[in-house]
Amino acid sequence: MSLKKAKALIAHSERLCVLTGAGISAESGLKTFRDAGGLWEDHPVEKVATPEGFQEDPELVWRFYNARRKAADIATPNAAHLALARLESGGVRKHKMKPKSGANGNGNGLHPEAEAPITILTQNIDGLHQQAGSQNVIELHGSIWKVRCTGCGLITTDYPIEVPILPRCEECEALLRPHVVWFGEALEEEVLAAAEEAVMACDAFLVVGTSALVQPAASYPFIAARRKVPVIEVNMEHTTVSPIAQFTLLGKAGEILPKII
């Protein structure tokens, strides 16, 4: 029953906002953070995903991110990523996406069309949504494929899968770091603004594969619910979002999303 209702809600939404987390990439073979054996358990968070950790041991951090770059390089989009890309391309719905203007080449749709039928806010840094063909993707926490100079801020995307350790900037010799948002670091202003615009403009909100523990991403479904926008959750378990969701569809995203899209 809720599958049918969820499907109808999505089919009739004019502007769907989708928040995705590590769970949507699990069926692509990428480990999630918190499930048993998740990534964090191999490394304490403060050692590999904080600026202090990088300061203390940049080699350990680069080894951690190189391992994830290798895993992300092997991974391919799964049925859940592909279903969201199909939804956006209008393959399954009446509206056609207006030709996108302004989205910058690196797939971070930072100037989403306000009336875009779908905006994906992803906490993932693996790039699988873009690889699946989704255009309107906002990478809340950056991208594993981008490397940023700690000195001059130069961002490059053409490093080999395994970044030579320790990488230094060709321009200013400073140390390079993954262009991702670590704990205790602020998300980029324009990312926050674009995300908030999408959450405030949506008329339906889909949450897929996230434990919804990390702020500010976890706040978005709650903001939508406060706007009386229906929230649909797809997860293997109940989360903090479940009490405010119209439905929590329990199961694998790769099986459920193709059914409701």
Catalytically annotated residues: 141
Contact (CB, 8 A) for 218 and 240: yes
Residue 192: cis peptide before it, omega within 30 degrees of 0: no
Q: How many angstroms separate the CA atoms of 57 and 63, rounded?
A: 10
3-state class of 251 per DSSP? Answer: coil
Per CB under 6 A, the list member of 115, 184, 227, 240 interacting with ligand BV8 is: 184
Q: Which does 181 bind (CB under 5 to 8 A by kind): Zn ion, ligand BV8, none?
A: ligand BV8
Tokens at 92, concatenated:
């399954």
Q: Which amino acid makes up residue 85? A: A
Q: Residue 222: enclosing H or E segment and its boundaries?
A: helix 219-226
Considering the complex, state which of residue 136 and residue 235 has its C-beta at the smaller distance from ligand BV8. Answer: 235
Stretch that binds ligand BV8, among 4-12, 111-119, 179-187, 197-205 (CB under 6 A): 179-187
Q: Which does 236 bind (CB under 5 to 8 A by kind): ligand BV8, Zn ion, none?
A: ligand BV8
Near Zn ion in 140-159, by CB under 5 A: 149, 151-152, 154
Buried b / exposed e across 38-50, counting CB within 10 Å, b at 16+? ebeeebeeebbbb
Least distance CB 98 / ligand BV8 (angstroms): 29
For 32, 34, 88, 150, 182, the CA distances from 210, given in Å and listed in that order, are: 9, 10, 21, 30, 17
Tokens at 19, concatenated:
């928040």
Per CB under 5 A, the list member of 52, 171, 190, 237 interacting with Zn ion is: 171
Per CB under 6 A, the list member of 168, 236, 242, 244 interacting with ligand BV8 is: 236
Considering the complex, state which of residue 113 and residue 130 has its C-beta at the smaller distance from ligand BV8. Answer: 130
Q: Which does 62 bind (CB under 5 to 8 A by kind): Zn ion, ligand BV8, none?
A: none
Backbone φ and ψ for 137, nearest 5 degrees, come out as -115, 125
The answer to whether 143 contacts ligand BV8 (rule: CB under 6 A) is no
Tokens at 244, concatenated:
């405010």
Q: What residues make contact with ligand BV8 under the rule CB under 6 A?
A: 21-23, 26-27, 32-35, 38, 49, 123, 125, 141, 180-186, 209-211, 213-215, 217, 234-237, 239, 252-253
Q: Which residues bind Zn ion (CB under 5 A)?
A: 149, 151-152, 154, 169, 171-172, 174
